[in-house]
Amino acid sequence: MTYPIDDIRADFPILSREVYGRPLVYLDNAATTQKPRAVVEAIAQEYYSVNANVHRGVHFLSQQTTTLHEEARERVRAFIGAQSVSEIVFTRGTTESLNLVATSFGETFLQEGDEVLLTVMEHHSDIVPWQLLRERKGIVIKVIPMNDAGVLDMEAYERLFTPRTRLVCVAHVSNVLGTVNPIARMAEVAHAHGAYLLADGAQSVPHFKVDVQALGCDFLTFSGHKIYGPTGIGVLYGREALLEQMQPYQGGGEMIARVTFEKTTYERLPYKFEAGTPDYVGSHALAAAIDYVEGIGMDRITAQERELTKYAMARMADIPGMQLYGTAPDKDAVVAFNVKDIHPLDLGTLLDRLGIAIRTGHHCAQPLMARCGVEGMARASFALYNTKEEIDTFVAGLERVVKMF
């Protein structure tokens, strides 16, 4: 079946605008994706027709909004293959989901001297919360290395385990290198050592089918805004048995069963971790985004994006002075690079004047930058609406910039 690229692009009005008098070429999708009409319309429809606070209201609008919110939770559950809606916690995004685990899992399960394994390619949001916990509780952080292609050293990974290892945290897909890490294999190793595994799915869930049961992970996080949904909504999947034992992350309304000045008892899962009014409009819009990508088909999206990635890397490799980072087999829709001695900021600024949007800097992965021996990189990242013609425009822009130096 032919990939319906024209119909898809028509669903994203922003793609038809111009920047500096040139057609927009948006290649910053790893930072955030653009939104289809169906998602924006879902937001407007809820605010205009249904808006009311959820769960505690007895009136019609509150009941209707609550239904939409909980239907969205079921939609997420089915999308990632969780066993129960009790395992789906709505958060503000991947960062809050990771902080929730670091705080609640950390306070419940980790003691001084216990070990958490991180990879060298982790996003700062999966490094700093564990460092904060280290300051509070004296845990030990160990780092899983990688080779020059951006592939994790699995033998070194297995050697890092000791009887004190409690948790492994790993990006399912590197936001810089595009490496797709072997979560199922890593989870199997972790479980064999009596440890748990958390997968950061921010860069995987938007690009290919993710099934938490098949992966065997104990936690999975992802953000709505990276999968064509709104900002401010995210998901934490956690095994029900673990979430049951973990302490609440925040206190207040929604997460309580009963409060007295002497004692508070907590709500059942998943509400124990959802203090305050949830982003019920965001959850409804996230469900619309999931409907959208599944309407296209995750397998078709994966094939389209992988083809674009291979095409881009092949075209870019011919540019004099090009340095590509991350050459793992079957890498995902991200290409990080530097050219000659051109500063990434200068490169990104000059491409922007040509209407081409890329990301530059350390990409919230400074330890990875250090491993690669650079301060920063430029990054082009692809989504379901990008085309080979846009990559041709991008490469032509790169060639034009390179000739200036």
Peptide bond before residue 320 is cis, with ω within 30 degrees of 0:
no
Annotation marks residue 364 as catalytic: yes
CA angle 236, 14, 30 (to 5 degrees): 35
Beta carbons of 93 and 223 less than 8 angstroms apart: yes
User: Catalytic: which of 169, 217, 364, 372?
Assistant: 364
Token digits for 271?
């509400």
CB atoms within 10 A of CB 6: 8
Residue position matching structure tokens 């982003």: 279
Element (H, E) at 325: strand 322-325
Beta carbons of 298 and 208 less than 8 angstroms apart: yes
Helix orientation angle between 388-403 and 298-316, rounded to the nearest 10 degrees:
20
Beta carbons of 143 and 119 less than 8 angstroms apart: yes
Token digits for 397?
């822009």
Helix residue ranges per DSSP H, 110-215: 128-137, 154-159, 183-192, 212-215
CA neighbours within 13 Å on the CB side: how many for 396?
A: 10
Cα distance between residue 221 and residue 238, in whole Å: 9
Beta carbons of 342 and 326 less than 8 angstroms apart: no
CA angle 143, 226, 237 (to 5 degrees): 60
- The contacts found for 53-57 with CB under 8 angstroms, 24 or more apart, are 53/277, 53/280, 54/277, 54/278, 54/280, 55/254, 55/271
The number of residues making up the chain comes to 405
Helix orientation angle between 60-80 and 280-296, rounded to the nearest 10 degrees:
40
Ordered DSSP codes for 82-98: -S-GGGEEEESSHHHHH
Q: Which residues are tagged catalytic?
A: 364
